[in-house]
């Protein structure tokens, strides 16, 4: 597992703010027709949180995640990342943020079909502005090792099972050591065993200091997270932080 | 993103779909191949003709009796075999712009040595003929003024005649029969092959006075002459002199319609060749332009298909941090890669066919040398690259502007 420079402690709350949204709105425009999907989202996410965004399909949870991950633009309100306004970033800055600060794990894996595991995991590094080419292979191998796929490095991605594919996607997401890893229904296309493996991998990333934001509609998946944000019809209906309970439990068990 | 990454990504994309890439490149391959082949063949032919002009010497002129009709009109010959007299030749020799002149009388008949027989062109001419025609012997000597004076029955024979009659054995000093008269062979000419698509190794040259005696001709069948440097001045001088001597009135337009003689020169041929060469170049460039344009459309078409097919891949690349420029360059380099590779394959095929063609033609025409036009190759490569950029820019821009999440959702 690649070490990170981020805070390694579990005291996520009260730590420095990573993401902040104020009355964030999103509408899709089809010709003249406006279809609103997110309303007045107020959200503060700190470094090293493990968050699950839950909600039925159509609730806007994926859209919210895409906006937070700089893949989509919001149409109202404010989105601040490290205190910087997202709407003020130009195309190249957005590309740089995507290359260095955030990464995604998709439900549909989105691997390059005719490329090997190694090539797939290495892909983000060729767009990384600061990591030198000489470090690529080493970093790639480390990331593959972190998801236990070293034996499969030379396999083509379409020779892998669903669970293996998603682990490749996770390796690809962590190879640049981003601050936030977004996961959009990462277990949605997987059987339960593979799903558990994938969630364990994400949890390990979290314990190594990464901020994890995942979208799911499965309670079992969401239970891995420390904080669950529930969305319904484009609005936050519930925001529960289980962190303190957990911490308390752990401290109790240590006392015994 | 490093340039190296761009190239490796582009080359992977091209090599993954080999058959499609090849078919896409076909237009470029054929276009570039055709240009390389045609310019190569053109250069070879030019080389042959220039070689012959060189051989004749740029200052060589020939005067024939008769007229080939109005310029640009019908080309029916108006023969007038008695137009050129030996006095004309002497008068022309007086011109300061003419250095030497040799009247020619053709003698009909065959050549025999024992039972062997050959079919030569028997040329009666003065010793200046050798100089004018740039002839060299491989054995023996030319005939000289003495032979001319005493109308000796001596012959200088072409290499082919020597082969036909003597099969490589020594010919000099042998007695042969020409048009049923006995001649002594005094020299054998060096083989030269074809000049202006005419075999000149089948010549037999005898003294002019002897030829006149044999045929009873009082007129020349042609003059060959050498001019001083400015052949155009000599050209005009000779023409003016002959018109004056023959009492020819020049039409108002200054054309040669009324002349009873024709003046031809090697330099004239060179000029015509230059004109032909320029129009050939223009023609080939047009063909190249059209085929590269058509090939370019094919490239653009397949690049658009390829961009559409890889919409999700482009979305993913953007999601992991690719800039617009990275995507733009990737598609553009892919397109240039296709046209350039097509261009290189086309050049290889063009040179290959050109070479095989040259090897085949060489068997019939020894002067035909394999040649390629380096300029045309570079031009073809440059045009292939420009085609790649010109027809790749639209698909590349289209790809670079894709919205990441929409591209990722593309089915």
- Could you write out the DSSP letters of every residue in B160-180? HHHHHHHTTS--TT-EEEETT
Q: Give the per-residue pLDDT at B74.
A: 43
Q: Give the per-residue pLDDT at B29.
A: 92
Lowest-confidence region among A15-19, B117-121, B335-339, B355-359: A15-19
Distances in whole angstroms, Cα of residue A248 to Cα of each of A220, A245, A255, B144, B403: 21, 5, 11, 129, 45
Q: Which residues contact A177 (CB under 8 A, 6 or more apart)?
A: A2, A4, A5
Q: Which of residues 355-374 of B touch A (CB under 8 A)?
A: none
Nearest CB among B312, B320, B408 relative to A123 is that of B320
Q: Are residues B209 and B74 in the same domain?
A: yes
Q: Give the per-residue pLDDT at B399.
A: 92
Q: Are residues B42 and B81 in the same domain?
A: no
| Inter-chain CB proximity A112 and B316 less than 8 Å | yes
Q: Are residues B244 and B361 in the same domain?
A: no
Q: Give the per-residue pLDDT at A254.
A: 62
Closest CA of chain B from A193, distance in Å: 27
Q: Are residues B120 and B200 in the same domain?
A: yes
Each residue of B228-239: pLDDT tens digit?
Answer: 766 778 888 888
Residue A173 has pLDDT above 90, yes or no: yes
Percentage with pLDDT > 70 across chain B: 93
Give the end of a domain, one of B217, B235, B259.
B259
Q: Give the per-residue pLDDT at A68.
A: 94
In a domain, B264, yes or no: no
Q: Are residues B198 and B279 in the same domain?
A: no
Q: Are residues B244 and B305 in the same domain?
A: no
Average pLDDT over residues B91-120: 89
Q: Which residues of B touch A72 (CB under 8 A)?
A: 403-405
A74 — contact with chain B (CB < 8 Å)?
no
Q: Binning pLDDT at 50, 70 and 90, where does residue A250 land?
A: low
Q: How far apart are CA B342 and CA A45, in angstroms?
A: 54
Q: Are residues B222 and B84 in the same domain?
A: yes
| Inter-chain CB proximity A127 and B317 less than 8 Å | yes
Nearest CB among A66, A103, A114 relative to B16 is that of A114
Q: How far apart are CA B111 and CA B182, in angstroms?
A: 10
| Inter-chain CB proximity B320 and A127 less than 8 Å | yes
Q: Give the per-residue pLDDT at B77.
A: 53
Q: Which residues of A touch B322 (CB under 8 A)?
A: 95, 99, 127
Q: Give the per-residue pLDDT at A24.
A: 94
| Inter-chain CB proximity B317 and A100 less than 8 Å | no
Q: What is the CATH superfamily name and number for domain A48-71+92-242?
A: P-loop containing nucleotide triphosphate hydrolases (3.40.50.300)
B368 half-sphere exposure, CB direction, 13 A CA radius: 18
Closest CA of chain A from B404, distance in Å: 6
Q: Binning pLDDT at 50, 70 and 90, where does residue B72 land?
A: very low
Give the end of a domain, one of B259, B288, B308.
B259
Nearest CB among A95, A110, A124 relative to B323 is that of A95
Q: Which residues of A touch B16 (CB under 8 A)?
A: 114
Backbone torsion region of residue B343, taken as left when φ is above 0, otherwise alpha when ψ lies between -120 and 50, otherwise beta: alpha
Higher-pLDDT residue of B193 and A184 is: A184
Q: Give the per-residue pLDDT at A5.
A: 42
Q: How far apart are CA B1 and CA A91, in angstroms?
A: 15
Candidates B321, B403, B405, B408: best to mutate against A (most CBs of A within 10 A) is B321
Q: Give the per-residue pLDDT at A4.
A: 42
Q: Are residues B395 and B372 in the same domain?
A: yes
Closest-CA residue of chain B to A172: B320
Task: Report the number of distinct structural domains present in chain B.
Answer: 2
Closest CA of chain A from B318, distance in Å: 7
In a domain, B239, yes or no: yes
Domain that holds residue B370: 3-53+271-409
In a domain, B61, yes or no: no
Residue B85 has pLDDT above 60, yes or no: yes
Closest CA of chain B from A252, distance in Å: 42
Lowest-confidence region among B131-145, B317-331, B347-361: B131-145
What does the buried/exposed string (b/e) look like for B265-280 if buried means 16 or more CB atoms within 10 Å of the residue's CB?
Answer: bbbbbbeeeeeebeeb
| Inter-chain CB proximity A100 and B324 less than 8 Å | no
B408 — contact with chain A (CB < 8 Å)?
yes
Q: Are residues B281 and B250 in the same domain?
A: no
Give the end of a domain, one of B259, B294, B317.
B259
In a domain, B345, yes or no: yes
Q: Binning pLDDT at 50, 70 and 90, where does residue A246 land?
A: low
Q: Are residues B134 and B192 in the same domain?
A: yes
Each residue of A113-159: pLDDT tens digit?
Answer: 888 999 999 999 999 999 999 999 999 999 999 888 999 999 998 89
Percentage with pLDDT > 90 across chain B: 26
Nearest CB among B9, B313, B320 relative to A103 is that of B320
The phi and psi torsions of A142 (rounded to 5 degrees) equal -60, -45
Closest-CA residue of chain B to A173: B320
Stretch (H or E) spanning A199: helix A192-207
Average pLDDT over residues B299-303: 88
- Tokens 């108002």 correspond to B252
Q: Give the per-residue pLDDT at B267.
A: 73
In a domain, B311, yes or no: yes
Residue A15 has pLDDT above 80, yes or no: no
Q: Are residues B25 and B151 in the same domain?
A: no
In a domain, B297, yes or no: yes
Q: Give the per-residue pLDDT at B75.
A: 44
Q: Which residues contact B200 (CB under 8 A, 6 or more apart)?
A: B158, B192, B193, B194
Each residue of A20-60: pLDDT tens digit?
Answer: 999 999 999 888 888 999 999 999 999 999 999 999 888 99
In a domain, B81, yes or no: yes
Instruction: Please give the interface size between A and B, counted as residue pairs whose CB atoms are below 8 Å apart.
Output: 66
Closest CA of chain B from A124, distance in Å: 5
Nearest CB among B1, B12, B403 relative to A127 is that of B1
Q: Which residues contact B135 (CB under 8 A, 6 or more apart)?
A: B129, B142, B189, B190, B205
Residue B193 has pLDDT above 80, yes or no: no
Q: Binning pLDDT at 50, 70 and 90, where does residue B268 land?
A: confident
Q: Give the per-residue pLDDT at A256.
A: 54
Closest CA of chain A from B319, distance in Å: 6
Q: How many residues does chain B have?
A: 411
Residue A6 has pLDDT above 50, yes or no: no
- Per DSSP, helices labelled H in B188-310 are 208-215, 231-246, 266-309
Each residue of B24-38: pLDDT tens digit?
Answer: 898 889 889 988 898
Higher-pLDDT residue of B52 and B322 is: B322
Q: Are A163 and A194 in contact (CB under 8 A)?
A: yes
| Inter-chain CB proximity B316 and A110 less than 8 Å | yes
Q: What are the sequence ranges of the domains in chain A?
A: 48-71+92-242
Q: Give the per-residue pLDDT at A94.
A: 93
Average pLDDT over residues B1-21: 82
Average pLDDT over residues B189-209: 81
Q: Are residues B235 and B299 in the same domain?
A: no
Residue B1 has pLDDT above 70, yes or no: no
Across chain B, mean pLDDT equals 85
Q: Binning pLDDT at 50, 70 and 90, where does residue A2 land?
A: very low
């Amino acid at each position: 597992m690649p070490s990170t420079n981020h805070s390694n402690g579990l005291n996520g709350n009260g730590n420095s703010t990573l993401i902040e949204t104020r009355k964030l709105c999103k509408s899709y425009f089809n010709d003249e027709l406006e279809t609103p999907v997110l309303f007045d989202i107020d959200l503060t996410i700190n470094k090293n949180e493990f968050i699950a965004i839950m909600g039925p399909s159509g609730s806007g949870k994926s859209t919210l995640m895409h906006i937070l991950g700089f893949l989509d633009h919001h149409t109202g309100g404010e989105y601040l990342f490290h205190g910087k306004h997202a709407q003020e970033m130009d195309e190249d800055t957005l590309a740089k943020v995507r290359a260095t600060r955030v990464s995604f794990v998709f439900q549909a894996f989105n691997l390059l079909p005719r490329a090997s595991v190694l090539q797939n995991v290495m892909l983000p590094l060729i767009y990384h502005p600061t990591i030198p080419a000489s470090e690529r292979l080493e970093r790639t191998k480390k990331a593959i090792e972190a998801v236990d796929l070293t034996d499969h490095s030379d396999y083509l991605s379409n020779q892998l099972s669903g669970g293996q594919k998603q682990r490749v996607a996770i390796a690809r997401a962590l190879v640049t050591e981003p601050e936030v890893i977004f996961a959009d229904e990462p277990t949605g296309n997987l059987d339960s065993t593979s799903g558990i493996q994938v969630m364990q991998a994400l949890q390990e990333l979290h314990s190594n200091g990464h901020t994890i934001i995942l979208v799911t509609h499965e309670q079992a998946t969401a239970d891995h997270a420390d904080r669950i944000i529930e969305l319904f019809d484009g609005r936050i209906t519930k925001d529960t932080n289980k962190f303190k309970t957990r911490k308390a439990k752990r401290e109790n068990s240590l006392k015994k | 993103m490093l340039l190296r990454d761009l190239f490796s990504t582009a080359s992977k994309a091209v090599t993954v779909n080999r058959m499609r890439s090849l078919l896409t490149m076909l237009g470029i391959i054929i276009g570039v191949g055709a240009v390389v082949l045609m310019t190569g063949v053109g250069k070879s032919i030019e080389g042959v003709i220039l070689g012959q002009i060189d051989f004749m010497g740029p200052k060589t002129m020939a005067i024939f009796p008769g007229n080939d009709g109005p310029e640009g009109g019908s080309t029916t010959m108006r023969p007038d075999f008695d137009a050129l007299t030996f006095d004309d030749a002497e008068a022309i020799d007086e011109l300061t712009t003419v250095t030497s002149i040799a009247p020619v009388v053709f003698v009909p008949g065959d050549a025999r040595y024992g039972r062997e027989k050959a079919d030569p062109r028997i040329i009666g001419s003065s010793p200046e003929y050798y100089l004018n025609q740039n002839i060299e012997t491989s054995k023996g000597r030319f005939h000289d003024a003495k032979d001319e004076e005493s109308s000796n029955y001596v012959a200088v024979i072409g290499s082919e005649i020597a082969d036909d009659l003597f099969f490589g054995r020594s010919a000099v000093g042998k007695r042969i029969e020409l048009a049923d008269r006995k001649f002594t062979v005094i020299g054998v000419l060096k083989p030269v092959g074809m000049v202006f698509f005419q075999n000149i190794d089948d010549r037999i040259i005898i003294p002019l006075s002897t030829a006149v005696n044999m045929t009873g001709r009082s007129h020349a069948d042609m003059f060959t002459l050498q001019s001083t440097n400015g052949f155009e001045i000599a050209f005009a001088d000779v023409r003016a002199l002959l018109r004056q001597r023959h009492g020819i009135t020049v039409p108002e337009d200054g054309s040669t319609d009324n002349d009873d003689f024709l003046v031809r020169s090697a330099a004239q041929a060179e000029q015509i060749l230059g004109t032909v060469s320029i129009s050939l170049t223009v023609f080939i460039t047009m063909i190249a332009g059209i085929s590269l344009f058509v090939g370019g459309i094919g490239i653009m078409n397949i690049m658009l298909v390829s961009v559409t097919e890889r919409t999700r891949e482009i979305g993913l690349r953007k999601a992991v941090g690719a800039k617009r420029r990275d995507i733009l360059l990737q598609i553009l380099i892919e397109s240039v890669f296709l046209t350039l590779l097509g261009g290189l394959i086309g050049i290889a095929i063009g040179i290959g066919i050109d070479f095989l063609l040259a090897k085949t033609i060489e068997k019939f025409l020894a002067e035909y040398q394999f040649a390629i036009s380096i300029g045309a190759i570079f031009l073809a490569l440059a045009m292939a690259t420009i085609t790649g950029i010109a027809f790749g820019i639209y698909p590349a821009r289209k790809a670079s502007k894709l919205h990441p999440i929409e591209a990722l959702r593309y089915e």
